[in-house]
Amino acid sequence: MKALITGATGFVGAAVARAVAATGADVRVLVRQDSELGNLDGLTVEHVHGDLRNPDSLRRALVGCQQLYHVAAHYALWARDPSIFYDINVTGTRLLLEAARDTGVQRIVYTSTIGAIGLPEGGGPGSEETPVSLAQMAGDYKRSKYLAEQEVVTLAKAGLPVVIVNPSAPVGERDIKPTPTGRMIVDFMKGRMPAYIETGMNLIDVDDVAVGHVRAMERGRIGERYILGNKNLMLREIFEMLSRLTGVPAPTIKLPRLAILPLAYVNKWI
């Protein structure tokens, strides 16, 4: 069994590559010419060069593969040119999945995000079935991932054997950029967080996210989506947990959201 993995040089993708390799599958990874390959150290994988915006390169990468894990995405909170989110996350996903259809890939797992899951009107956690709309998506990253999911669902209804997974906020090894969650932890460790704005998030070990991808490939129902999460925590609880583990004092000053939000908009404009 040969599996192509996109995004394998990144945080989640590298964990997925290791989990898939552990099943005994032959792993092929799609990388750009300028990709940093450090996250793949110690793995025996086949490298193929390509770009999600180049359909010919995608078809070449998929030839001979029975499985596809599409983990790659443009993941950022902001971009000077927002079109990059839609070019890579939406159009790139559609081009890749169409190439998988044309080359006869047997099973596909598409990595979405918890941000594409809806929230109940009365509050509380959402589920895979909670209704959601584009209007509920904040920011170009979430909007692009929501639209990409719609592309995936459309192709699934047309017969493409694809399953969707929605990871929450993964933490763990090889978060080299780091991700926004990882940056929060790094800033805490370096004493750069004297205050905080209370919010909630769901944390999960990145290796558990990777196992969830493999389980979705093995057992997921075509066209369905599966949340990959672990524990709902308030930010204060996360800092207290980190403080117990490291000895770094947790911030005690909680800032009011409404006072900080205007500064966030100014910062984005600058």
Q: What is the 3-state secondary structure (H, E, C) of 42-90?
A: CCCCEEEECCCCCHHHHHHHHCCCCEEEECCCCCCCCCCCCHHHHHHHH
The C-alpha atoms of residue 56 and residue 79 are separated, in whole angstroms, by 27
Strand order in the sheet with 200-205: 169-171, 200-205, 231-234
The C-alpha atoms of residue 205 and residue 210 are separated, in whole angstroms, by 9
Residue 43 structure tokens = 């793995």
For residue 87, what are the contacts with CB-CB under 8 A and spacing of at least 6? 53
The mean predicted confidence, pLDDT, of the chain is 92
Task: Place 268 in a pLDDT band, splitting at 50, 70 and 90.
Answer: confident
Contact indicator for 146, 225 with CB cutoff of 8 Å: no
Average pLDDT over residues 15-41: 92
The C-alpha atoms of residue 192 and residue 186 are separated, in whole angstroms, by 9
The C-alpha atoms of residue 225 and residue 221 are separated, in whole angstroms, by 8
One-letter-per-residue 3-state SS of 114-170? HHHCCCCCCCCCCCCCCCCCHHHCCHHHHHHHHHHHHHHHHHHHCCCCEEEEEECEE
Contact indicator for 111, 75 with CB cutoff of 8 Å: no
* 18-22, 29-33, 132-136, 174-178, range with the lowest pLDDT: 132-136
Closest CA to 91 of 68, 66, 72: 72
Burial-class residue 65 by CB neighbours within 10 Å (0-12, 13-18, 19+): buried
Contact indicator for 268, 139 with CB cutoff of 8 Å: no
* 2-11, 128-137, 171-180, range with the lowest pLDDT: 128-137
Closest CA to 108 of 73, 152, 54: 152
More confident residue, 181 or 122: 181
For residue 151, pLDDT over 80 is answered with yes
More confident residue, 260 or 225: 225
